[in-house]
Structure 1
């Protein structure tokens, strides 16, 4: 059986004089990038420079829209009307799409950020608003989210392709949702363990939850976070172990 999977990372999250992440290096080892669009992070110069890096490294470009919350990095829940959410999503996709067009490339996907991602996984009305906004801009865009969530159901309902995502460095609950970052065991710091978990998810379709139960997962794309000191080496390890086990790393747009 031939395995193909995408590796994505949230990049372009610097802002003005503040630099976040190691984008120059991590783009060499991922196949798709989720680029901040100015609401939770990023600015026009960062967006342009990040799209350029992706174009140079043949990395699929995607919008990473979030709540309008620079101070909280988009990780705080916000109570917004569905109309507001739709317009915020359209605005952010449109901004990144313009930069992509300026470099002669097409947007591949959209992945919501932080609190918006987590809320949409369980809130059907919010998920519908997001997917309708995406489809209104470009119905050929791929929507990224976790499998068996409100986002997957919403994407399928509006006719969008959906990429099922897992996280290389995050623990999950027994219902498949991510363990809150507010809890001490949310992040997996053992790189060898994380690599074994990723391989198990891709090859066997299961992942051990925080309570020890085994949860079925579907893997189209693997998220690696680029905002920690070991991110680049960690991403290289994951890519290496997957390729050594017969898994081809390609942008999701090539197999979805």
Structure 2
């Protein structure tokens, strides 16, 4: 939803999806005056200008039957009958206010791109760090770690708001957890962001206490809490045709 950030700390992040799609990532989305969404093969995220029926009707017009849209709000949304909404839970937005290095497993990382998409999707399906589809990697730089040719860990950049870039898709193969790989990759991604003069931020489900603890150790602090709402069109033959949303 579009709101007045007022004097909120990091007010630019009060509507990250709406702002990203109206500025730095407009080329990756489809837009109406009252609604914006990423192209479905990039990300499921969408935003509306306000909670009035006309805005949700505009979002409906940007969606095809069977597609899933993920909308952040401060409260669960009430949608008109042409849409269905399911609240998936509370999402914590965290912003890096300190750069705290953390020693980790000594490993080389590599940049990931088009040729790695199938493996990236397989790793995110295994670990469920958040929605990741075939063109998510075009949102920013993604890096990974391989062992004997197999992709075992990755992280990257997702939403881009003026002055900020989101750290996302932090995931490690379960067989390789506990070795500091996530911390290593997060620090590489955030260092790149900070070198550009931007502030790193991220989103994580409030119930994922282990991930939140890691992010806090790396200098991320809670900025605000959203609700994550899964939106589908009511005329879909199956409201779960789009792969259900998951996340950190």
Asked if TM exceeds 0.5, the reply is no
Structure number with greater Rg is: 2
Comparing both structures, which one devotes a greater share of its residues to strand? 2
Q: Provide TM-score, normalisation by structure 1.
A: 0.30
